[in-house]
Amino acid sequence: MADLRDEIVNKSFFQFLNKGYGACSLKDLEAATGLTKGAFYYYFRNKEEILKAGIEKYLSVSSEMSEEEFLKIDSLREYILVLVDRKERNAERWQELFEFFIIEVAFFQLILEVENLFPVFRHSIDKLSRLRLGRWEFMILKAKQTGEIKAELDTSVLARNLMSVSTSMVNIDLSTENMRIAFSDMRMQFEQYYLLIKK
């Protein structure tokens, strides 16, 4: 029984991430899972409940760098490497849990779409974004002070630009084969950016 509930959540969440919540009807979800409306209503009262179960499942294995870990990082270059590795490990955990590749930016877009249904999740994403932006700014300022990167660069603009590199994955197909390629591409983009800003 629990396996069928999980299957509904996984396959429905895939549809929500790919098409958007509003674009997915219950009929679409029935077709994606091969189940009838009756099977859905045995486990969930409506589409909103399925979405909430998917979001909670996603968040259950989501992992953010602790303050202690962050403060041990010595350079902007090291921060970039640690960050990408962590993003890839998170993607692997989500893939094991849902049985398909999930990129964080697709999840964030879904949360923005459904913010009226679940304002608490939107609040969490906003808080996380502010934390991440602050960390980028901290590492950039540190890199300027140590002479790692050019001092004349605008800290705030650079932080936003570097933070947005991972959004380049937004158009990646959510399949296992593309996961390695996507993270390899992200590393390459960060490397090119770093070469432009280093002293």
Rounded CA gap, 43 and 192, in Å? 48
Tens digit of each residue's pLDDT (9 = 90 or more) over 7-38? 999 999 999 998 999 999 888 998 998 888 88
For residue 171, what pLDDT is reported? 56
Residue 1: pLDDT band with limits 50, 70, 90: very low
Name residues whose C-beta falls within 8 Å of residue 191's C-beta, 6 or more positions apart in sequence. Answer: none
Tens digit of each residue's pLDDT (9 = 90 or more) over 137-168? 999 999 999 999 999 999 999 999 999 987 76
Residue 151 burial class via C-beta count within 10 angstroms: exposed 0-12, middle 13-18, buried 19 and up: exposed
Residue 92: pLDDT band with limits 50, 70, 90: confident
Handedness of CA 169, 174, 175, 176 (dihedral sign): positive
Tens digit of each residue's pLDDT (9 = 90 or more) over 173-199? 555 556 777 788 889 999 999 999 999
Say whether pLDDT at 3 is over 90. Answer: no
For residue 8, what pLDDT is reported? 93
Tens digit of each residue's pLDDT (9 = 90 or more) over 35-73? 888 888 889 989 999 999 999 999 998 888 999 999 999
Counting every residue, how long is the chain? 199
For residue 53, what pLDDT is reported? 96
For residue 180, what pLDDT is reported? 76
In 3D space, the residue among 53, 156, 164 whose CA is nearest the CA of residue 108 turns out to be 164
For residue 91, what pLDDT is reported? 86
In 3D space, the residue among 56, 29, 28, 46 whose CA is nearest the CA of residue 121 turns out to be 56
Q: Is the separation of the CB atoms in 106 and 14 below 8 Å?
A: no
Structure-block tokens of residue 139: 């590492």
For residue 181, what pLDDT is reported? 78
Distances (CA, A) of 157 to 3, 80, 128, 164: 46, 17, 18, 11
DSSP for residue 187: H
Q: Is the separation of the CB atoms in 58 and 13 below 8 Å?
A: yes
Q: Is the separation of the CB atoms in 138 and 163 below 8 Å?
A: no
